[in-house]
Amino acid sequence: MTATKGLEGIVATTSSISSIIDGVLTYRGFNIDDLAENATFEEVAYLLWYGKLPNQSELNELLGKLGEYAAIPAGVLDALKLYPKNTNSMAALRTAVSSLALYDEQANDMSHEANITKAIKIQAQIPTLIAAFARLREGKEPVAPKKGVSVAYNFLYMLNGQEPDQVAVKALDQALVLHADHELNASTFAARVTVATLSDIYSGITSAIGALKGPLHGGANEAVMVMLEEIGSIGNVEPYINEKLANKVKIMGFGHRVYKNGDPRAKHLQKMSRELGKMTGNMELYEMSVKIEELVTGQKGLKPNVDFYSASVYTTLGIPRDLFTPIFAISRASGWTAHILEQYENNRLIRPRAEYTGPVDQKVTPISER
Ligand SMILES: CC(=O)SCCNC(=O)CCNC(=O)[C@H](O)C(C)(C)COP(=O)(O)OP(=O)(O)OC[C@H]1O[C@@H](n2cnc3c(N)ncnc32)[C@H](O)[C@@H]1OP(=O)(O)O
Ligand SMILES: O=C([O-])CC(=O)C(=O)O
């Protein structure tokens, strides 16, 4: 038995949800470029769950359910109020999502009908949890979700307590489309491993949030913003990046396990970053990002991934840095739950082997002789 470090190149499951073939990303056979320009996040979530784009009445029905389920149980809200105000936002989300199961009478109902309902509930409640946490830590009252509005609208409304700007809603909606699913990425794999033991959907999503939190995965979008803040101005980009590369320090938001010629989502986020910068009259973050890209691609051949330009996009939308990865979770909840449903439909325990590299033929000596 020979181990493959990081399971690189290993095909671990079949899936009909999303594919990356020759650098082209599709959800259910629809090119991400087409979806990014022509579909809303709710249409994409429907596509991931049901395998087809919704017609108007199916979309209305989904929007109705998302609105109906968006309020979080009182017990979960009471507990959120007790979280330390300075705690990590992804740790808070991980704990809060786990606690949703305590108040869901269907939590352990393994029928397909109950699981699809729970998928929609989780999708509806994650934005409410994040917005409530963000407000509570600032000493503000949580804002109740609205009915009949999009996930992007509701999140910005609950976060800021006022009607969001239409441009911001459109930008966030497009970012949610771009992040919704991505084949067998680490957090989706974590979710599938968890539910393949026939554990419940909340356990799978809790595992996935834990995996997304790390800076080699979803946590990279926050790390990109930390870097942009450290650099501070366009004049500092070159010395900062050259020094990091000379010391073999990874530049966050670059590189990818699967894409070697560039992440097809990055160009959409770059365009959004440029347009939002122009609209707000502040192009500095965008220009710094472009300069970083020139240097990293020029010297290392590494291309930006989905996390790189999302940092300047979210900052320009006025979103606090430590909510970037939770926003990724809002979007990816659709993909995680679709994969969990697919795993249940054709389940087998996921249990690979390890190549043993430890000592052999050891004998237990009496404790007094050790
Ligand atoms: C949504 C997402 O999860 S997208 C990914 C988000 N993560 C990041 O942006 C973090 C920065 N990027 C990385 O750490 C990596 O590119 C990963 C984790 C995304 C993919 O990594 P892997 O396929 O495992 O590649 P690995 O980390 O082994 O790197 C291969 C080589 O490229 C280098 N490299 C990879 N990414 C970077 C980077 N961002 N900056 C500098 N060098 C890099 C490594 O140092 C290594 O060099 P070496 O062979 O000289 O040691
Ligand atoms: O697929 C990966 O390894 C990481 C990624 O880009 C994603 O999850 O969107």
Structural domains of the chain in order of their starting residue, each with its CATH number: 14-215+323-345 (1.10.580.10), 220-316 (1.10.230.10)
Q: Is the ipTM of this complex over 0.85?
A: yes
Q: What is the CA radius of gyration of the chain?
A: 21
Mean pLDDT of the chain: 98
Q: What percent of the chain has pLDDT over 70?
A: 100
DSSP 321: G
pTM of the model: 0.98
Give the closest residue (by CA) to ligand 1 atom 50: 248
Digit-coded pLDDT (tens) for 104-154: 999 999 999 999 999 999 999 999 999 999 999 999 999 999 999 999 999
Q: How far is CA 1 from CA 13, 197, 300, 356, 357, in A?
A: 20, 24, 34, 9, 11
In this model, does residue 1 exceed pLDDT 90?
no
- Rounded (10°) CA dihedral 8, 12, 17, 22: 40
Pocket of ligand 1 (CB under 6 A): 6, 216-218, 220, 250-257, 300, 302, 305-307
User: Which ligand ends up closest to the CA of 185?
Assistant: 2
Closest ligand 2 atom to 183 CA: 1
217 labelled catalytic:
no
Average pLDDT over residues 299-306: 98
pLDDT of residue 366: 98
Question: pLDDT, tens digit, for every residue of 235-246?
Answer: 999 999 999 999
At 70 the pLDDT is 98
Flag whether pLDDT at 335 surpasses 90: yes
| pLDDT class of 251 with cuts at 50, 70, 90 | very high
Q: How far is CA 364 from CA 10, 109, 209, 298, 358, in A?
A: 38, 47, 41, 57, 16
Q: How far apart are CA 211 and CA 69, in angstroms?
A: 25
Say whether 179 is catalytic: no
Report the Cα 39 to chain-centroid distance in Å.
Answer: 19
- Catalytic pick from 179, 182, 217, 256? 256
User: Does position 7 have pLDDT exceeding 90, yes or no?
Assistant: yes
Asked if 197 and 349 touch (Cβ cutoff 8 Å), the reply is: yes
